Amino acid sequence: MAPHATGPAPELGPYTAPQPPVHPTAERRDTVVLVDSDRTTYTEEHITAKFTYRGAQVTREGGDIKVTPTKEEFEFRTKRKVPKLGIMIIGLGGNNGSTFTATILANKNHVTWYTKEGIQVPDYVGSVLRASTVRLGTDPGTGKDFHLPVCDLLPMVHPNDITIGGWDISSLPLDEAMRRAEVLPYDLQRQLVPLMRGIKPLPSVYYPSFIAANQGERADNVIPGLSKRDHLDHLRKDIREFKVANNLDQVIVFWSANTERYSAIIPGVNDTKEALLASIDASHPEVSPSTLFGVAAVLEGVPYINGAPQNTFVPGLIQLAESRRAFIAGDDLKSGQTKMKSVLAEFLVNAGIKPLSIASYNHLGNNDGYNLSAEPQFKSKEISKSSVVDDMVAANHLLYKPAAQMAKESGDPKAKPEHPDHIIVIKYVPAVGDSKRALDEYYSRILMGGRSTISIMNECEDSLLATPLIMDLCLLAELLTRVQYRTTPEEEFMPLYSVLSLLSYMLKAPLVKPGTEVVNALSRQRSALEQFLKACLGLDNSGDLLLETRTW
């Protein structure tokens, strides 16, 4: 018998066989959608499209329901030139930030790696824009549906062209941050080290009261001093310098750092834009790091997206964004368990089945889970995850009694509407690392008082689901900065409203225009996004009616 080998394993050299083809989700295409219609025009600078927005106003008159169809004419104008885009990630050295950077660099440099299944090529699987399609219409030659990648509908930035930078309270360069995260396979990490070694996070804002105390050991890369006004000026300078140094046309700032505790909404502190700016000058303790970054982005005129569950967008920050016509979006990435919930709860309620309770348990071992082991930070996550079924429940008064009926039956004028019991548990289990386990039970009432139980066990690699969402949110936000609209030919074109609610598909607790309803149902969120992109081309979204298959 041959003796066992001793000493270190030999260094593996790079694979030298012919390179596999580029994955379809990472391909570059010169596709241009040309709409042959007098309602859509093309110039070198713009795509301009007229769109009729149809709706209905509904009132109850005695025992009758009166429906009045409405329509409003819109004209959308989209800039065709794709800018040079930079993304500044807050929490750049975290699991999501390092995985996002590694993914972009692997695709840009076509880094291939070996696993036990063989050679792997980089991709953007999991991206709605790059890895899903939209139905455009019917091919007259075959009679079959014609589908197109979502990213080919309108001119969009290719992710390989993104410039990445950002901040982190940890000073580790990104090659070491990638190793610490333990998300990507070794052979891929080994080849990415030279590409990531030179990327170092900028010092970040660190206010210990907003995140778990266990994060203090990582905080060796913080902006000095206690003045929040000085910190704001520092962040604004970072954004400007990043844009100039990389010759960028547009920058997007994305919060992917630790979940913060909720900020208290205090009159005179953060309830108006004037109060918020004054509170920053006074270094008020309820101005959170995520809100401070949001103010910096708004004042610099760049979009700001919150990928965590805390209430970053206090009323004062929303007002500030509105006054500056700056773009904001949030809150909290909707990647695994919550996305399933927004599908399954919608399915059950729409099927006439009444969920009585939804119990969600999950455990994870990455730094996100470590931070969430503190009660205030867990509370932020619990709130964002618990509201995901609210609009679906409220839409069906046959299954769930509205507040007025509950008040009448109970005699309590403040009674809340009927709602399923909704329990959420999150535990930190270091051994599972980034591979999060989620267990859900849906306990429902069915016909004649019967009961139904659906149980789901979901295992997902958290950062590999989150990374495509970060990319989609940033690329869509950039696109929406190039879309303007007007409702009469006499008007000047205007930017969209500051809160980018069209990004709701990727977010657990979507931020919407004050006074409007939140939509959590995944199918409605996806439909709204598709319809808007088509509207920018002057296309109606009536194809799913398929009248040609239902008429003579």
Catalytic residues, by residue number, are: 332, 381, 436, 508
The answer to whether 331 touches 312, Cβ cutoff 8 Å, is yes
- In DSSP notation, 123-187 reads --TT-HHHH-EEEEEE-TTT--EEEEEGGGSS----GGG-EEEEE-SS---HHHHHHHHT-S-HH
Contact 55, 71 (CB under 8 A): yes
Query: Please, are residues 438 and 361 in contact by the beta-carbon 8 Å criterion?
Result: yes
Closest of 9, 16, 10 to residue 119, by C-alpha: 16
CB distance 367 to 94 below 8 Å? yes
Long-range pairs for 237-240 at CB < 8 Å and ≥24 separation?
238/88, 238/167, 238/202, 239/88, 239/296, 239/297, 239/300, 239/302, 240/300
273-281 vs 289-299: helix crossing angle, rounded to 10:
110
- Judge whether 183 and 261 are in contact, CB under 8 Å: no
| Amino acid occupying residue 135 | R
Residue the block writes with tokens 């170092």: 200
Indicate the SS3 state at residue 6.
Answer: coil
Question: CA-CA distance, 123 to 115, in Å (whole number)?
Answer: 15
CA 177/CA 315 separation, integer angstroms: 35
